[in-house]
Structure 1
Amino acid sequence: MKNSKLLYLALLILPWLTVPLLGRNSLKKYLPATIFMSTFTKAIDLFGEKKKWWRFFKGIPPLDSMNFFNFGPYFVSSLWILKLTYRKFPIYLISNTILHICFIYLGGIKLVNRNKIFTLEKLTKFQYLIINFLRALILYSFQYIIDFSHSKKRHSNK
C-alpha cells in the first residue's frame, strides 16, 4: 500500500514540474479549457463508474485513484497538447489519437490496472478510445470557443 500511495503522489506531482516550461502566457491561455476538461472528465468518470464501464481504486482518502491521474498527467498533458498543437487541428487530432492509441493498446491500460489506478470493466478498449477521442474534440472545441469570444471582445472594443 505504501508503494501505491507513493505512485499516486508521483502521478499528481511530477507532471506539474513541467508546467513552468509552458510559459506564463500559454498557461493563462489554456488553463480555462483544461480546467473545464478536468471537470468534465470527472463527471464522465462518475457516470462511467455508475454504469460499471470502469472501476477506480481507493487512492488516498478523500481522493480516489483516478483523481491523481486526472489532476496530474491528464491535466498537464492537456495543457501541453494545446500549447504544441492548438490552431493546427489535423496535427492536434493525429497526435492526440496516437497518444490515446499508445496508452490504450501498448500497455498503459495494463499499467494503470496493475498499479491500482483503474480497470476497464464493461467497456472495451475501442470504446474507451472513442470516449477519449470525443474528450479531445471537446477540449479543442472549448479552447476554440474561448479564443473566439476573446477575439470578438477585442474587435468590439475597437
Structure 2
Amino acid sequence: MVIIPWFSFFFLKKETIRHYTPVGFFTLFLMALYHELAYTQKWWKIAHPLVPQTIFYEAFAIGPFFIGTIWIFHLTYGKFWLYLIANVITDAIFMFLMSPIFVKIGFYKWVNQTPFERYIHFIIIAVVIYGYHTWQRKGMKIEGVANQKY
C-alpha cells in the first residue's frame, strides 16, 4: 500500500515533482485532520496502524493519497472539470471497490460513517486541494511560473 505507488514516481519529471509536492503535503495535512475528526466522531476504526497508538492510517496517506494527488494534478491541472472527474472516478474506485476489500481483510471497519459519506467528504477535500494549489500558484513570485504547465 505504501511502496507500490512510489514506483510510479520515477516516471515524473523533476520539475513536476518539485511543483506538485506542496499540494501533496497539503493533502497529507488535510488527511491527518480528517482522520483526527474521524477518530473523535468514531466514523471508523483502524485495526492495524503502521505506527502503534496512532489514529491515522499512514499507508493510505503516504502511498496512494500523496502520489495520487501529484499524478492527478500533473495530468489535469488547469482543467478543473477534468480534475474533478478524475477525482470522482478514483475516489469511487477506492471507496466502492477497494474499501470493501480492506474492510474484509481487517484493515479497518466502518462504525458511524458510511462509505458514501466518506466518498462525499473526499470530493469536497479534492475541491479544497484544487483551490489551495490555485492560490499557491498565484502567490508564486517567479515570473512565468504561475502559468507554466508541468
TM-score (norm 2): 0.87
1:86 equivalenced with 2:77 (yes/no) = yes
Which of 61, 66, 72 is residue 63 of structure 2 equivalent to? Answer: 72
Which of 29, 37, 42 is residue 27 of structure 2 equivalent to? Answer: 37
**CA shift in 2, pair 1:101/1:94, >3 Å:** same
3-state SS in 2 of match to 1:123:
coil
Gaps in structure 2 of 5+ consecutive residues: 144-150
* 2:16 aligned partner, one-letter code: S
2: CA distance, partners of 1:116 / 1:59? 11
- Between 1:93-102 and 1:27-36, the stretch displaced more is 93-102
Greater helix fraction, Structure 1 or Structure 2: 1
* 2:70 aligned partner, one-letter code: L
Alpha-carbon distance, 1:58 to partner: 2.2
Question: What is the number of equivalent residue pairs in this alignment?
Answer: 142
* Matching residue of 2:87: 96
* Matching residue of 1:109: 99
Provide runs of 4+ in structure 1 moved above 3 Å.
60-65
* Matching residue of 1:123: 113
2: CA distance, partners of 1:139 / 1:47? 18
2: CA distance, partners of 1:104 / 1:24? 31
1:98-153 Cα shifts (integer Å, max 9, x gaps): 11122222x21111212332222211222111100011111111111111101xx2
1:39-97 Cα shifts (integer Å, max 9, x gaps): 11011101111101111122333466711111111111111001000101000001110
Task: Give me the CA root mean square deviation.
Answer: 1.6
3-state SS in 1 of match to 2:39:
helix
1:54 equivalenced with 2:44 (yes/no) = yes
3-state SS in 2 of match to 1:55:
strand
User: Does the 8 Å contact 2:24/2:66 carry over to 1?
Assistant: yes
